[in-house]
Structure 1
């Protein structure tokens, strides 16, 4: 393999948020080298741990080497795919912790070697030790061969055949027992892209997508529309994605927060996606998740930070404190998301224009704060500091973008709301000092401590946010008619996955803050641990600094003196 080196210009372009096809190709080639090294390590470890399947592994490895010699460029490209990286990572984990499970995992080398042989046009006859009724061949499809014992796969002049017991399967798509890979296709000519639909996070051998026909058709239509949007409005992303994006775990429709988008550490060019609401949200997701892939791959080549697991930083896109590596991942993804919405301001119309204003304004505020936290962390390498400073230079250009005052106000409100809920979930005041405050309140004395001086510890309490209120606000901006229908009908809210929205939330999102404050105060009387209600109350009241700056102090004292009205308690704390 050639030496892989990111040039200073490519490094700066990657740091600014995009990359360019040459830089993405280097990141991809880095994955090829890594996956080959991981496979060699697997073979070394498996020699002792998986002696019962060692002969089969050796046979498969020889086929893989022969395929690489016959068609090095095509096979190396195949070896760089996320299928190989995620399989190799699972193998190494199993080999290091559980040899009984390792054998089943490392036997995945057989289908990988067979696929490489087919790609290379290599003739071979290979044993596949199967422990299930189906076996997946990366990028090709899945063969179903119920039965016991190993299978054999043969590739010669007549094609590819698999046999197990008395069953036989021919590999061409459409043959009985064979299910070809499901694909998402879009674009034409130089803008064409083909992405496999596959679940690569499962450790079993059957990676077939489980989408019904209607859902598959919907995904294909949404992907075409999202890709057309990127080609038309965001061409700077298209070439990079064509080089790097190869697979999506496209999931079925689900309730909000049941399925989350996510990118696997060792799966460059692959991500899991919840069923999208529309084409532009899918386009945003594709850009967001591909950023994670790029940064993970860059980190394999260039160390950007210390490997310190201490989680102590606020990240507005997460509910828990984040270590520097996690915060950097979030910043890098959201710098691209913010750029996406910045550009959409000049393209979208009507309600979507207002939504673009709002999304751009809220992320620009939060990304810059997170960048500054990274620069102040002391955990970045010299290359990492340069990388983050380049991101900051991109972010500072956003200050010149004008956003209508009303949309900017709503964005700032959500930014403050995020911080309030995060502080309630993660910052825990010293119990003795809270008891001192509670005793002073009960005795009718003045507040004895400055809330800013109360000692605290940092630990995530595990309570998850609902985010329904923010989603309802997004609906208010993008589709006012749908918003009014949701406000008027509990049935409509339930159907649209807004069943958790309360009367207080409705008043808050409609800017009826007086009514919202009364409703939230009532909710807290019976559900004093509802952080969403605390945030809603804080933002519905005027001039209650303690509720917005130190909500965890107000909450903790209120827990001791339940009869205290939160707004009165907040005023007392500021005396």
Structure 2
């Protein structure tokens, strides 16, 4: 049996964050073999009466007629999702719970392949919510109460009485076609299905968009044209790999709170799901970031890089919840490319956008470097894994010789501290017994004892992807200083007075505003983050809030008892207490903040020095 492997040179190339078209083809070949194995496991686990066996026979017949169609059918991204889901269902306890429409998905794939092979056939499929999908082609709207007959004769494909248009991408009555996005620049072309139809496109549960109107499709096409021109001209090594491996984009219908959130399933190589891109730059960055996940997922299916550790306990500066080791590796690998993206973008822009790009470069250069250290210290990587980490480190080392302006370094520190403080408050839990004892002493007017308090990391069940209004205001101050100044004069309800003061450099006003917010219980967690930052950025302020999670926990307990306490007064009282960290790698992240010298939007800072 042929076994997929990666040579050392190939592992080095991928470790540096890259992957040429030939190497992407090798990763895809591994994915096709994985799907063949999954299909075999599924067939072996299902009874012979299952329609999946009939559908598989049709797929085999189509492949025998046209051997090139086998890889095409297996490569459909959502087939991988379907296979993984059915195998998980079998593992949980048999096929009884499977809906007929779920089991018929392979028949939909086989029907499309058989049509392309020119085979005459007839299949009876169960509609899903009144639709029958032909993956990558479109969906037919049918009677939801009756089985649908799919048949192909004399070159004509019908679903019931509906004739499927031979022309791709064309809607007709009761037929919705998958739309296609195309772009070409610098001799590299890309073709992407904009899939808003497939029933297995939303297994990540982030909310796949329903049918897009034509205006939205035009927006995606315009964003892709702009993104592709930028990527091929300035990020060509990434563009070549994306063109070779990415086939499908699933639009997400995300609310404002998750705008810009994208996701790539490790079961759906070739596809990524993305929220509506603001512009070409946003889409280009999203494609680079998400295809990194696809590459690393395919590598992990071929090479064992590390010993599994599923405990969610590590800090990752791009997520608000503790992450297991594998997820941290995925993040480091994705943000390796993000750092490189901003490293180049900062040289292409001017003014505020250039300063923002430079700050993003400095921020992620530092974050990736530090998180890479976390991976190394975990000491769970195999020999190929250590080689992969070394290649990643080699790419990072080249960037440290590149100068950055003081403003960019300051903004990067501020952004990093904002996230780190929020992560601590959300996920680090001081010992409950110690919290109760300290609350008792404070309530009784007793002095605070000098003692250790153990702190543990507790993962939350929900996926945490929050955003900071302070970072949004910082970006606004760089890209549109007039609008930022207007907000400071007349605050918008979407931004707190404390955030505006903090970003504007008025630390005393920020502290007063945040304390007022906390006193009335308004958005307390975000107000606590802002208050801590306002204290830490002022090197002359006597309260440092070095253990913010303890101060928040004691304050919350006092409020539960009906006792209000000034958070800064409580912080002073708690100064004799030392919090003991749990050893998951967080200790090495602090301190992260240096005093702010110049408020965002001020004109005294020179343009970034690129000498």
TM-score, normalisation: structure 1: 0.90
TM alignment of 1:260-299, pairs within 5 A: 260-299=261-300
CA-atom RMSD in angstroms: 2.6
Distance 2:156 2:53 in 1: 21
Q: How much does 1:5 deviate?
A: 2.1
Q: Highest relative contact order (Cα 8 Å, sep 6+), 1 or 2?
A: 2
* Worse-superposed segment, 212-221 or 519-528: 519-528
* Residue-by-residue CA offset, 1:139-174 (whole Å, 9 max, x unaligned): 222222335433333334x3232142xx23233234
2:91 to 90, 96, 102: 96
Is structure 2 residue 468 aligned with structure 1 residue 467?
Answer: yes
Distance 1:293 1:201 in 2: 20
Q: How much does 1:291 deviate?
A: 0.8
Map of 2:44 onto structure 1: 44
* Residue-by-residue CA offset, 1:329-356 (whole Å, 9 max, x unaligned): 1111111111100111111222210110
Structure 1 segments unaligned to the other structure (5+ residues): 494-498
Map of 1:319 onto structure 2: 320
Distance 1:90 1:443 in 2: 57
Map of 2:589 onto structure 1: none
* Structure 2 contact 257–466 (Cα < 8 Å) conserved: no
Is structure 2 residue 507 aligned with structure 1 residue 510?
Answer: no
TM alignment of 1:362-511, pairs within 5 A: 362-441=363-442, 446-450=447-451, 453-460=452-459, 465-488=466-489, 493=492, 499-511=493-505
* Structure 2 contact 197–210 (Cα < 8 Å) conserved: no
Distance 1:390 1:502 in 2: 44
Change (3 A) 1:268 1:204: closer
Q: How much does 1:445 deviate?
A: 5.5
Distance 2:555 2:247 in 1: 52
* Structure 1 contact 305–381 (Cα < 8 Å) conserved: yes
1:130 to 99, 123, 126: 126
Q: How much does 1:114 deviate?
A: 1.5
Aligned residues, how many?
556
Map of 1:249 onto structure 2: 250
Is structure 2 residue 20 aligned with structure 1 residue 35?
Answer: no
Map of 1:496 onto structure 2: none
Map of 1:20 onto structure 2: 20
Distance 1:247 1:477 in 2: 34
* Residue-by-residue CA offset, 1:225-275 (whole Å, 9 max, x unaligned): 111111121111111011111111123574232673111120112111111
* Residue-by-residue CA offset, 1:357-384 (whole Å, 9 max, x unaligned): 1111111121111111111113322222
Is structure 2 residue 144 aligned with structure 1 residue 144?
Answer: no
Structure 2 segments unaligned to the other structure (5+ residues): 203-207, 577-611
Distance 1:134 1:324 in 2: 41
Distance 1:366 1:208 in 2: 32
* Structure 2 contact 197–211 (Cα < 8 Å) conserved: no
Determine which structure has the larger helix proportion and give its number: 1
Distance 1:464 1:190 in 2: 37
* Structure 1 contact 63–114 (Cα < 8 Å) conserved: yes
Map of 1:116 onto structure 2: 113
* Structure 1 contact 82–269 (Cα < 8 Å) conserved: yes
Change (3 A) 1:202 1:509: farther
TM alignment of 1:60-79, pairs within 5 A: 60-79=55-74
SS at match of 2:152: strand
Distance 1:528 1:251 in 2: 31
* Structure 1 contact 139–181 (Cα < 8 Å) conserved: yes
SS at match of 2:258: coil
TM-score, normalisation: structure 2: 0.85
Change (3 A) 1:176 1:445: closer
Q: How much does 1:560 deviate?
A: 4.3
* Worse-superposed segment, 137-146 or 441-450: 441-450
